[in-house]
Amino acid sequence: MAAITLKDIVKRYGDGYLAVKGVSLDIADGEFVILVGPSGCGKSTLLRMIVGLEDITSGELKIGDQVVNDKAPRERHLAMVFQNYALYPHLTVYENIAFPLRLTKGQFTDDEIREKVEFAAKTLELQDHLDRKPANLSGGQRQRVAMGRAIVRDANAFLFDEPLSNLDAKLRGQMRTEIARMQRRLGTTTVYVTHDQTEAMTLGDRVAVLRKGELQQVASPRGLYEQPVNLFVAGFIGSPPMNFLPGEVSGDTLSLPFADVPLSDDLRSRIGSRDIVIVGLRPEHFADTSLLEDGKKDAGVTFDAEVDVTEWLGSDLYAYVPFETSSEVAGTLEELDRDLDGEGMRTQLVVALDSESRIRDGDTATLWFDPAKLMVFDPESGENLTFDADRAREIDERNEADRKASLERAQEREKRTQRSA
Amino acid sequence: MRTLTTRAKVAWAVITVVVLVWALLPVVSIIATSFKLPSQLNLGTFWPKTWTTTNYEQIFAGSAKDLFLPALRNSIGISLIATFVAVVLATLAAYAIARLDFRGKKLILTTALGVSIFPVISIVTPLFNLWRNIGLYDTWLGLIIPYLSLTLPISIWTLAAFFRQIPWELEQAAQVDGATSWQAFRKAIVPLAAPGVFTTALIAFFIAWNDFVYGISLTSTSAARPVPAALAFFTGASQFEEPTGAISAAAVVVTIPVVILVLLFQRQIVSGLTQGAVKG
Ligand SMILES: Nc1ncnc2c1ncn2[C@@H]1O[C@H](COP(=O)(O)OP(=O)(O)O)[C@@H](O)[C@H]1O
Ligand SMILES: [Mg+2]
């Protein structure tokens, strides 16, 4: 186990393409860090540079306290799970898992190898499949064999490159919790690449958001959700994604397409001399006014909206409200949409309401939101003007404390089960 | 798959039979001829009137023995060596071509293709002169070298296509698992490439085994003359008898290894030619 330190890592491919533009990141020993971003943003490239399959153009990569820029993959002692699993088709499951052990000539006896492989197989519930070939296994089983190959040796760190993207949704959920449990128990430093924000939010201690080879923000999942530094992070994290509306500033009011919002002094000073801003509101921060208690209603802003389509999902009701965006911010929002792999769909407000709500397609609904939850972004740079650095630090500190506690609990539990076994 | 209508089935059956007859008739005819008595060759019957093994005795123990047996030894030895060298070189070359981006990669592939389509007959005369000058005329090496020019290009092409289908990730996974480049190649790639290498070896062997032009032009004695060339030197028992029977018998003998190899390994050949071993 070891910490991994990236300092100004740059990758320029042979064809001149700059895939990673100076990424610095400190990954603590035992930490679970997620690299997330839309496809093509350089996540895999970064991971492959860490593991040694891709040369580092410039910058410094340390594992533990050793600079490993020029070390071959096998000298870095990292374990990697590939997107397509990369199992050896000619070897049985047993031999696939034993493969890394067999390469350490003479270090392990056959009995020790057997013991380790069987332990890994038991952890991953592969005992019944040890004699089978990978081609005869299901996707989830192959995935577990790939993980078995990673955990069987004492690697400095685990690296995952979108390991669940080839599985169906249900299995993905199961394997996700499986990976989280395994990592907590082993306490091994882990770097996990994904473009799926559910995986990013649920698995990681910290999440690093990448865009076009540049690191946008590194924070706890909660930190990213509550205190995104810019438009990109705000739009990427959260599902359904955050709504972005044009906001016209006149005096102490902010005019949105649906409603006027009074500005607090703090917000007023943060907006400064801008006449137009981009306003972000998460779908879950809206409510159906008719379902609200009276006290709460007065604390927020209510407005009437023509609901176009509704989707009832059991736990939530999504309502879609089309609106015209203003031309001043259209350019920025279109670019953002492209960066987020969007479809360039028409502008509409998505609101997630209580599933009890009786609002249906075509209704004129009275909706409510709390202006304190609103985020304001600079229309040019995309910077989050409502970003609160103290609050962000506080969230991350609390998250770090929670992580340490849960790691200790997991390892305590592990010791107990081993003693009783 | 769609089930065929009866008419389509019949049509396919007819086509199959026609193709089979077309392909096999000459082979059967040669086998039949090889069992005919030399005196009965001109009777005009398809099957021998009296079945006899005289022709086989003649090539293995009789008058044609000194012509045929050394030729058989030459054919086997030269073809095996040419195949072995071609496959080893082609495996390394094809691996580099499939995996590495280096300058001149296109050039190598195009040259290989060019060499393989170059008419043999236009090379053979200069080669004849050259070999005479440097002492390679009528030696094994003098045939192995031109055979390599036939077998290498096709071996490189088929193997490169084969290696391209093996996911590079496997090798990278092996390296991450702690293997050196050589170990990754040997433990993750070679086992998967084996069917392809094997198929290539068979194809290369047949090319060398079947050659006639180089065999007849670059040899003069039984020191290096291979079977296809040696057949041209067969003579009848007397000058009034034609050597057709003995030639047929020799032809059957050299065809047998080909048929046996294909029958034994037809599954590997088909899978080697059609897929590339790795899926999923
Ligand atoms: N071998 C390569 N040569 C040139 N460009 C590459 C190569 N591999 C990846 N790229 C480019 O680098 C960018 C980042 O790729 P990658 O790291 O695979 O993205 P991600 O994993 O985030 O989807 C992409 O635009 C891709 O086209
Ligand atoms: Mg990727």
At B101-150, the pLDDT tens digits run: 888 888 988 888 888 788 888 889 999 999 999 999 999 999 999 999 98
Dump the DSSP string for A224-240.
HHHS-SBHHHHHHSSSS
Sheet holding A157-161, edge to edge: A78-81, A157-161, A189-194, A32-36, A206-211, A214-219
Question: Tell me, what's the pLDDT at B237?
Answer: 62
Candidates A145, A61, A155; CA nearest to A103 is A155
Chain A hits for B183, CB-CB cut-off 8 Å, are: 103
Give the model's confidence band at A16: pLDDT under 50 very low, under 70 low, under 90 confident, else very high: very high
B177/A149 CB distance under 8 A: yes
B280/A104 CB distance under 8 A: no
Chain B residue nearest residue A157, CA to CA: B176
Nearest-10 Cα torsion for A199, A202, A204, A206: 110
- Digit-coded pLDDT (tens) for B38-83: 888 877 888 888 888 888 988 888 878 888 899 999 999 999 999 9
Cβ of residue A44 lying under 6 Å from some atom of ligand 1:
yes
Mean pLDDT of A239-250: 92
Contact A244, A278 (CB under 8 A): yes
Atom of ligand 1 nearest to the CA of A213: 14
B134 in contact with chain A, both atoms CB, cutoff 8 A: no
For the A4-226 domain, the top CATH level (class) is alpha beta
Q: What's this model's pTM, rounded to 2 decimal places?
A: 0.81
CA pair distance A159, B182, nearest whole angstrom: 24
Candidates A417, A419, A307; CA nearest to A357 is A307
- Digit-coded pLDDT (tens) for A403-416: 888 888 888 888 88
Residue B122: count other Cβ atoms within 10 Å of its Cβ: 9
- What's the CATH number for A240-387? 2.40.50.140
DSSP state of A28: -
Cβ of residue A15 lying under 6 Å from some atom of ligand 1:
yes
Mean pLDDT of A217-243: 94
B178/A104 CB distance under 8 A: yes
- Digit-coded pLDDT (tens) for B120-134: 888 899 999 999 999
Give the model's confidence band at A146: pLDDT under 50 very low, under 70 low, under 90 confident, else very high: very high
A191 three-state secondary structure? strand
Sheet holding A286-288, edge to edge: A286-288, A364-369, A301-306
Candidates A223, A211, A263; CA nearest to A388 is A223
pLDDT reading at A364 higher than 60: yes
Sign of torsion over alpha carbons A346, A339, A38, A238: negative
Question: Tell me, what's the pLDDT at B121?
Answer: 87
pLDDT reading at A11 higher than 90: yes
Sign of torsion over alpha carbons A355, A361, A365, A369: positive
ipTM: 0.85
Phi, psi of B108, rounded to the nearest 5 degrees: -60, -45
Question: Tell me, what's the pLDDT at B276?
Answer: 39
Question: Number of H helices and number of E strands within chain A?
Answer: 13, 21
Question: Tell me, what's the pLDDT at B273?
Answer: 56
Chain B hits for A51, CB-CB cut-off 8 Å, are: 176
Question: Tell me, what's the pLDDT at B236?
Answer: 66
Question: Tell me, what's the pLDDT at A224?
Answer: 96
Considering every ligand atom, which ligand is closest to the CA of A11? 1
Chain A residue nearest residue B169, CA to CA: A86
Structure tokens at A268: 């007023």
CA pair distance B24, A174, nearest whole angstrom: 60
Chain B hits for A100, CB-CB cut-off 8 Å, are: 177-178
Question: Tell me, what's the pLDDT at B1?
Answer: 52
Residue entry with tokens 């006899």: B52
Q: Which residue did the predictor score with more confidence, A102 or A418?
A: A102
Contact B207, B17 (CB under 8 A): no
Kindly report the average pLDDT of chain B as a whole number: 86
Any idea where the domains of chain A sit in the sequence?
4-226, 240-387
Domains along chain B with CATH numbers: 64-276 (1.10.3720.10)
B179/A104 CB distance under 8 A: no
